[in-house]
Amino acid sequence: MSSEELANHYRRIIVELGEDPDREGLRDTPRRAAKAMQFLNHGYTQSLEEIVNGAVFASDTDEMVLVKDIELYSMCEHHLLPFIGKCHIAYLPSGKVLGLSKFARIVDMYARRMQIQENLTRQIAEAVLRVTEARGVAVVIEASHLCMMMRGVEKQNSSMTSSVMLGAFRENQSTRQEFLTLVSGR
């Protein structure tokens, strides 16, 4: 859908909510809201191959690599309200390592879509596994959901933690423990 069409829908929503889309403060709002919503959903226009851009490098390291505290902004698919948090990703390389910035790009590609946190966590883990062919991948997301804070049950201090463990992180208790210790050590 074009930005203009989307803006027309926003104009309609503003009217339905009882506001005047022609008053000065709202005059450009449909256009701005359309652009903002398109940005918040731009992950649909990206592919894993494109964002990784070949940044996978040969390496002998077989020790755990952890990328911690990657900030995350997503939209809950139930209410189209934001959920905001942090993502931690670990993997056990097997001959290849992934360019550091690409972990954040992978998080963003899936976060900038309509999501639930559990599916987002799994999609990130599976993408990292696919590009690195690692012995294992672990992903933890801690997030606060505005749909629970601004509306609904209106709980300001609850957060949700979700995790996905693949390969060695799933099979090996001590590997999983090492990851969880590294993640919680702040």
Ligand X SMILES: Nc1nc2c(ncn2[C@@H]2O[C@H](COP(=O)(O)OP(=O)(O)OP(=O)(O)O)[C@@H](O)[C@H]2O)c(=O)[nH]1
- As annotated, the active-site residues are 76-79, 117, 145, 147
- Quick one: what does residue 116 bind among ligand X, Zn ion, none, with the CB cut-off 5 to 8 Å set by partner type? ligand X
Residue 7: other Cβ atoms inside 10 A:
19
d(CA 186, CA 183): 7
Q: With CB cut-offs between 5 and 8 Å by kind, which of Zn ion, ligand X, none does residue 117 bind?
A: ligand X
Give whichever of 68 and 79 is closer to Zn ion, judged by the CB atom.
Answer: 79
Does position 56 bind ligand X by CB under 6 A? no
Two tokens, residue 30: 């449909």
Q: At 26, list the tokens.
A: 């709202």
Instruction: Consult the annotation and say whether 87 binds a ligand.
Output: no
Q: How far apart are CB 123 and ligand X at their closest, in Å?
A: 13
How many Cα atoms occupy the beta-carbon half-sphere of 76 within 13 Å?
A: 16
Query: Using the rule CB under 5 A, which residue among 6, 26, 84, 147 binds Zn ion?
Result: 147
Question: Pairing state of beta strands 96-98 and 56-58?
Answer: antiparallel
Q: Which is nearer to Zn ion, 76 or 106 (CB)?
A: 76
Amino acid letter for position 94:
S
Q: Which span sits near ligand X by CB under 6 A: 3-11, 20-28, 53-61, 114-122?
A: 114-122
Which among ligand X, Zn ion, none contacts residue 11 (Cβ within 5 to 8 A by kind)?
A: none
Q: Which residues bind ligand X (CB under 6 A)?
A: 76, 78, 116-118, 145, 147-148, 152-153
